[in-house]
Chains A and B, each alone.
Chain A
Amino acid sequence: MLTSVNTMERPIAPSEFRAHSAVYREATSQTGKPNVSSTTKDWTAHIIAIRDKQDQVAFADLFAHFAPRVKGFLMKSGADASLAEECTQEVMATLWRKAHMFDPARASVATWIFTIARNKKIDALRKMRRPEPEDLPWGPEAEPDQADAIGLRQETEQLADAIKQLPDKQRKLIEQAYFGDLSHSEIAEITGLPLGTIKSRIRLALDRLRHAMN
């Protein structure tokens, strides 16, 4: 069962983050260098800790890893540095508030953060509404299946590796599609994205969820 999230119990003391400033500096000092991370870390436990315990230490860890990347992503999508900084803070605050919505059977933490950042981009940069699909029904049975979550994590890692191994030209096209330079007809030129296995995995998780609700 999904645990409901309590409001924060006490005010935040900035001093609590200082212990983490080393990690924090390490991430921000990477400016200008592409990140080469072959083994991606699983951040699910951090989200659960934020969801269940409002864990600020876990949040500071996540922040150190993802906030500079989100900001880089938004700047590459056309935001200037100050707008990107503002949006990044809002994206990370949304992550805290919506931690109870995270579903590890359908998305990795990086994927989930991407969707929050993308929605922020549509709102702040393109200045339009984003129509979202109807929610999936949920209930006590909807707690994600552990095996689904593990399977999804493996598929996500394989996808990341496969994308890294694509020819340069093709990978650049995909980047362009996500950073907002390609129209949907130009996207039709992109081939070779190996989505079959991750798609079947997610489809299975959706079927299980629907089944649990009937």
Chain B
Amino acid sequence: MINHHLTPELMMAYSAGTLPEAFALVVATHVSMCDGCRAEIDSFDAVGGCMVEDARAAALSVDSLEATMRLIAQGPATTKQMPRLSSGTLPSPLQDYVGGDLDAIKWRSIGMGVKQAILPTSSDATARLLYIPAGSAVPDHGHRGTELTLVLQGAFSDDEDRFARGDVEVANEDLQHTPVADIGMDCICLAATDAPLKFNAFIPRLAQRFLRI
């Protein structure tokens, strides 16, 4: 049961195609586990359909249709593809970036048992997988921009609430928090930020250099 969902503005921006790639990855991964947000994004796509329907028509080149038919004739034959479905822990959009499931993640230790793996996305925001041992805390930090955290395994709690598999926490500038992983299972999250985090204590600031966040 997912209790924490995407915000409408994230879903609309995903539908419009204007989110940084790292944020779009969080959205696509959550939607893979949540039909409610999938239906809402489909609705935002319908708004996009209205925008196309109402768009000012631009003059096409004279041979536009013929050129398109040539493209079709030259292009690959249409083949029905099998649906992209994941049987592992990571939903398929995330597997596309990792190159496999959990065992394919190239973790790097960042101290105190916490590990991370930065995923290759466009540079306007950073996406990384975080591995937090059961019962451990992520350094206390505030935010300059927006930070999205999606739980993939285990659960964590912070001053606000508890987040389990499929839940997304959307943190903005006003949130200062210390997420702690549940006892019982190591926690794996997908986190995306569009600005460097501000850590409060000396040691975490040092960790920040290793974290590249």
State the interface size on chain A (CB cutoff 8 A): 103
- Taking A81-B58, A89-B64, A136-B83 as contacts, is the C-beta distance between A108 and B49 under 8 angstroms? yes
Is B13's beta carbon under 8 Å from chain A? yes
B209 at the interface (CB under 8 A from A): no
**Residues of the B chain whose Cβ atoms lie less than 8 Å from the Cβ of A60:** 65
A163 at the interface (CB under 8 A from B): yes
Q: Report the stretch among B29-37, B101-109, B158-166, B177-185 that lies at the interface.
A: B29-37
Q: Is the CB of B54 within 8 A of A31?
A: no
Min Cβ gap B53→A in Å is 5
Whether A48 is near chain B, meaning CB under 8 Å from some CB there, is no
User: B86 contacts the other chain (Cβ, under 8 Å)?
Assistant: yes
Contact (Cβ within 8 A) A118 B16: yes
The listed residue (B18, B52, B68, B73) touching A117 by CB distance below 8 A is B52
B interface residues, tally (CB under 8 Å): 72
A130 vs B96: C-alpha distance in the bound complex, in angstroms?
11
With both chains docked as a complex, state the minimum distance between the C-beta of B142 and any C-beta of chain A, in angstroms: 17
Cβ-defined contact, B54 with A100, below 8 A:
no
Contact B73 A8, beta carbon cutoff 8 Å: yes
- Taken residue by residue from 133 to 156, chain A's Cβ proximity to chain B (1 for < 8 Å, 0 otherwise) reads as 111111000000000000000011
Q: A199 touches which one: B43, B57, B70, B84 (CB < 8 A)?
A: B43
Main secondary structure of the interface of A (DSSP, over half): helix
Q: Given the complex of chains A and B, what is the CA–CA distance between A2 and B82 in angstroms? A: 13
Distance of B106 from chain A, by nearest CB (Å): 19
Q: How far apart are A108's CB and chain B's nearest CB, in angstroms?
A: 6
- A214 part of interface (Cβ distance < 8 Å): no
Chain B contacts for A73, CB-based, 8 A: 51-52, 55
What are 6 inter-chain pairs, A to B, with CB distance below 8 A? A90-B71, A96-B72, A164-B54, A178-B48, A180-B18, A187-B12
Closest A-B pairs by Cβ, 8 of them: A111-B49, A68-B57, A135-B83, A134-B32, A7-B77, A131-B28, A110-B49, A184-B13
Residues of A within 8 A of B (CB): 2, 4-5, 7-8, 11-12, 14, 17, 24, 27-28, 30-35, 37, 40, 56, 59-60, 63-64, 66-73, 75-76, 81, 84-85, 88-90, 92-93, 96-100, 106-108, 110-115, 117-119, 121-122, 126, 128-138, 155-156, 159-160, 163-164, 174-175, 177-180, 182-185, 187-188, 190, 193, 195, 198-200, 202-203, 206-207, 210
